[in-house]
Amino acid sequence: MKTIFKRPEALADFPTHYCPGCTHGITHRLIAEALDELGLRERAVGIAPVGCSVLAFNYFNFDFQQAAHGRAPALATGIKRGRPDLIAFAYQGDGDLASIGMAEIIHAANRGEKFTVIFINNAIYGMTGGQMAPTTMPGQVTTTSPFGRNVEDVGYPFRMCELLASLRTPAFIERVAVHRPKYIVKARKAIVKAFRYQAENRCFGFVECLSTCPTNWGMTPHKALDWLEENMLPYYPLRNFKDPETDENPEPAQGGGDAS
Amino acid sequence: MAKVLMKGNEAIAEASIRAGGLYYFGYPITPQNEVAEYLSRRMPEVGGTFLQVESEVAVSNMLYGAAGAGVRCWTTSSSPGISLMMEALSYIAAAELPCVIVNIMRTGPGLGGILPSQGDYRQAVKGGGHGDYRSIVYAPASLQEAVELMPLAFDRADRYRTPVLVLGDGMIGQMMEPVEFREHEFPPLPPKDWATDGCKGRKPNVVNSLYLDPVKEEELNRKLVAKYEEIARKEMKSDEYGTDKPYRVLLVAYGTTARICRTAIARLAEEGIGVALFRPITLFPFPAARLKELSRPAEFLLSVEMSTGQMVEDIELAVRCRKPVHFYGRQGGLVPTPEEVVDEVKRLLAGAKGGAA
């Protein structure tokens, strides 16, 4: 009998603690599929952040380290500089990466560290209970922005891909979404590519995954998918920002641009 | 091997390379910059890794990552930089990862100044970061001792899976002395079968300090305590001077101040005043048993430090407060002179004789 669907070897047979409708599970699976496809599982070291995915080490079937809040890129740097033959990736949320870990991510990208970052942007702090994140949308209500994010007071949400793409160092940087099958197919391709570039020792890889948080957004899972589409896609365009294959002579990328 | 004249920071760097500390992450801060400058040239020659990075916070988390991947890694910094490393140091202790951190102490609190100090004793010896943990702490008093302690520090870090601190001061880092790099032999180390270095042929490893289950967290705490008790039993190191002759006063000092005390003791001996020195080489574990023994013939003890007396409480604990423990120290980067120590000993002896309170 031909197998057409099975659990990736890189994914552990372990129930997750994620809320119903949360997209972490999709992204976990994409990572596992990518590592299996490229045959990298036995060399892989994942890094779990502080946030909802703090327990990610339980959900994958390969080596893992658990990091202090925001420091996953520093751990990954230590791992790759110590053992360049390993395949390291940091799995980080928006508070972890774009707030407390801003210095670590920018410097790792600028050094061109040969590891992969999977950046989960769901516009909110999940684990701590729905506080305003550096990526919270203008006007978005959270537990610490009860009147909506006031950009006059706290500024606009960070666009991390655009920020990192402005660096001169070659990299693979792409923003994807995981809320509809058609986007998930593209997300999978970007994740595979980022890991392939790492395996080829070519460049730093950064894949931002626009994700949902039905629980802290206060919506049904279905409504959350629509909310992402309507509110996040216009502000966070889905596209490739940098690719060593196409950037013959990479120059600082221009912000914005059409979704591709 | 012949002796070579080296600056302390460079001697520490070379000794670490020879001990297999081939992975170094650092951030500039005075007075220890010569370590990174030396390694930036030397590491490429030996196939090691030197990386200057964005902050001490990042440095210490890189140690977590690299140590977790099973390589011998280390860093150096000075007081304010060490404070920034305390985040990861706590995680490193909890995840039971081996690494070596050298603190060439400068003055504080705050930004302080760049002159020598011993003001980080408590931070190093009592924990430093959050939570229930300790680090082995070595305190070299000469450059030769520093180059001997580096291989020991790396070995013990691996053997006990624990962070090891080497506590020097600006004098140790900046002065020049002849040093000889000797070969060091240690018993074989256990394999790093816990490292996250790829799961080929085995079950996945996890390097972690998260314990949401209180029972599991308590188990970790107790496991760490058992480890620290074993370290206390096996790893105490100390040195003594003048204890083979009769003495009325026992000085207690580590690092640079211990050298000053030796000069003071020689001068006091010329005046017929018997004084001895006890010098802890490990500050944790504090060599309490030997200190207690040596305190018996003394009328009192005098702790000499470049701090406001941070070691005094450990001395009092060691002698169970059976002998008076006095303190003499200078702060702010001022180094006690032998004359000051001589005068203080005489003043205290006169006071003791007069029975003044």
Q: Work out the average pLDDT over B71-87.
A: 98
A14 part of contact set with chain B, CB < 8 Å: no
B44 part of contact set with chain A, CB < 8 Å: no
Q: Work out the average pLDDT over B61-67.
A: 98
Q: Which residues pair with B277 in a beta bridge?
A: B241, B251
8 A C-beta contact, residue A241 and residue A204: no
Same fold, B4-234 and B239-354: yes
Q: Work out the average pLDDT over A76-94.
A: 98
Residue B326 has a pLDDT of: 98
Distance from CA of B95 to the nearest CA of A (A): 9
Is pLDDT of A249 > 60?
A: no
Contacts of B65 in chain A (CB under 8 A): 47, 65, 74-79, 82, 88
Q: Do A74 and B53 touch (CB under 8 A)?
A: yes
Q: Do B73 and A78 touch (CB under 8 A)?
A: yes
Report residue A127: phi and psi, to 5°. Answer: -60, -35
Q: Is the dihedral of CA B153, B158, B164, B170 positive or negative?
A: positive
Is pLDDT of A255 > 80?
A: no
Residue B355 has a pLDDT of: 44
Give the type of residue at B249. V
Cα–Cα distance measured from residue B153 to residue B98, given in angstroms and rounded to the nearest whole number: 10
Query: Strand A204-210 and strand A116-121: pairing?
Result: parallel
Q: Do B68 and A75 touch (CB under 8 A)?
A: yes
- Of B126, B96, B136, residue with least CA distance to B220: B96
Question: How much of chain B exceeds pLDDT 90, in percent?
Answer: 97
A79 part of contact set with chain B, CB < 8 Å: yes
Is pLDDT of A228 > 90?
A: yes
* Mean pLDDT, rounded, of chain A: 95
User: Which of B25, B58, B204 minimises the CB distance to A63?
Assistant: B204
DSSP state of B110: T
B61 part of contact set with chain A, CB < 8 Å: yes
Cα–Cα distance measured from residue B256 to residue B175, given in angstroms and rounded to the nearest whole number: 11
Cα–Cα distance measured from residue B167 to residue B145, given in angstroms and rounded to the nearest whole number: 12
Is pLDDT of A256 > 80?
A: no
A107 part of contact set with chain B, CB < 8 Å: yes
Q: Which CATH superfamily is domain A24-242 in?
A: Thiamin diphosphate (ThDP)-binding fold, Pyr/PP domains (3.40.50.970)
Residue A247 has a pLDDT of: 82
Q: Work out the average pLDDT over B200-209.
A: 98
Cα–Cα distance measured from residue A240 to residue A165, given in angstroms and rounded to the nearest whole number: 10
Give the type of residue at A173. I
Q: Do B63 and A78 touch (CB under 8 A)?
A: yes
Contacts of A99 in chain B (CB under 8 A): none
Residue A1 has a pLDDT of: 83
Domain ranges within chain B, ordered by starting residue: 4-234, 239-354
Q: Do A82 and B66 touch (CB under 8 A)?
A: yes
Question: How much of chain A exceeds pLDDT 70, in percent?
Answer: 95
A-B C-beta contacts closer than 8 Å: 136
Cα–Cα distance measured from residue B194 to residue B191, given in angstroms and rounded to the nearest whole number: 8
Is pLDDT of A259 > 60?
A: no
User: What string of H, E and C letters represents the secondary structure of A231-259?
Assistant: HHHHHCCCCEEECCCCCCCCCCCCCCCCC
User: How many Cβ atoms sit within 10 Å of the Cβ of residue A33?
Assistant: 17
Q: How far is CA B301 from the centre of its chain?
A: 22
Within B29-170, strands assigned E span 49-52, 73-77, 99-105, 136-138, 163-169
Q: Which CATH architecture has domain B239-354?
A: 3-Layer(aba) Sandwich (3.40)
Q: Which residues pair with B251 in a beta bridge?
A: B277, B302
Contacts of A67 in chain B (CB under 8 A): 61, 64
Q: Work out the average pLDDT over B240-259.
A: 98
B48 part of contact set with chain A, CB < 8 Å: no
The more confidently predicted of residues B354 and B294 is: B294
Q: How confident is the model at residue A260 (pLDDT cuts 50, 70, 90)?
A: very low
Report residue B320: phi and psi, to 5°. Answer: 50, 35
Q: Do A82 and B54 touch (CB under 8 A)?
A: no
Return all residues near A185 (Cβ < 8 A) that are at least 6 apart: none
| B91-112: burial string, b at 16+ Cβ within 10 Å, e else | bbbbbbbbbbbbbbbbbbeeeb
* Mean pLDDT, rounded, of chain B: 97
Mutate to test the interface with B, among A54, A65, A71 (most CBs of B within 10 A): A65
SS3 B268: helix
Is pLDDT of B253 > 60?
A: yes
Q: How confident is the model at residue B243 (pLDDT cuts 50, 70, 90)?
A: very high
User: Which of A42, A77, A106 minimises the CB distance to B65?
Assistant: A77
Taking CA atoms, what residue in B is nearest to A107? Answer: B54
Q: Do A78 and B66 touch (CB under 8 A)?
A: yes
pLDDT digits (tens, 9 = 90+) for B280-337: 999 999 999 999 999 999 999 999 999 999 999 999 999 999 999 999 999 999 999 9
Distance from CA of B193 to the nearest CA of A (A): 12
Mutate to test the interface with A, among B56, B60, B61 (most CBs of A within 10 A): B61
Radius of gyration of chain B (CA): 21
Q: Is the dihedral of CA B245, B250, B252, B253 positive or negative?
A: negative
What tokens appear for A69 in the block? Answer: 């809040």
A62 part of contact set with chain B, CB < 8 Å: yes
Q: Work out the average pLDDT over B82-89.
A: 98
Q: Work out the average pLDDT over B37-42.
A: 98
Distance from CA of B204 to the nearest CA of A (A): 5
B54 part of contact set with chain A, CB < 8 Å: yes
Place of tokens 């450059």: B143
Cα–Cα distance measured from residue A207 to residue A187, given in angstroms and rounded to the nearest whole number: 8
Is pLDDT of B356 > 50?
A: no
pLDDT digits (tens, 9 = 90+) for B139-176: 999 999 999 999 999 999 999 999 999 999 999 999 99
B150 part of contact set with chain A, CB < 8 Å: no
Is pLDDT of A221 > 60?
A: yes
Q: How confident is the model at residue A254 (pLDDT cuts 50, 70, 90)?
A: low
CA-to-CA separations, A215 to A124, A128, A212, in angstroms, rounded: 11, 12, 9
Q: Work out the average pLDDT over B69-95.
A: 98
According to CATH, the topology of domain B4-234 is Rossmann fold (3.40.50)
Contacts of B68 in chain A (CB under 8 A): 65, 75, 78-79
Is pLDDT of A251 > 80?
A: no
Is pLDDT of A120 > 80?
A: yes
Distance from CA of A257 to the nearest CA of B (A): 31
Q: How confident is the model at residue A204 (pLDDT cuts 50, 70, 90)?
A: very high
SS3 B105: strand
Q: Do A71 and B63 touch (CB under 8 A)?
A: no
Q: Is the dihedral of CA B302, B304, B310, B315 positive or negative?
A: negative
Residue A252 has a pLDDT of: 52
Is pLDDT of B199 > 90?
A: yes
- Of A65, A69, A52, residue with least CA distance to A103: A69
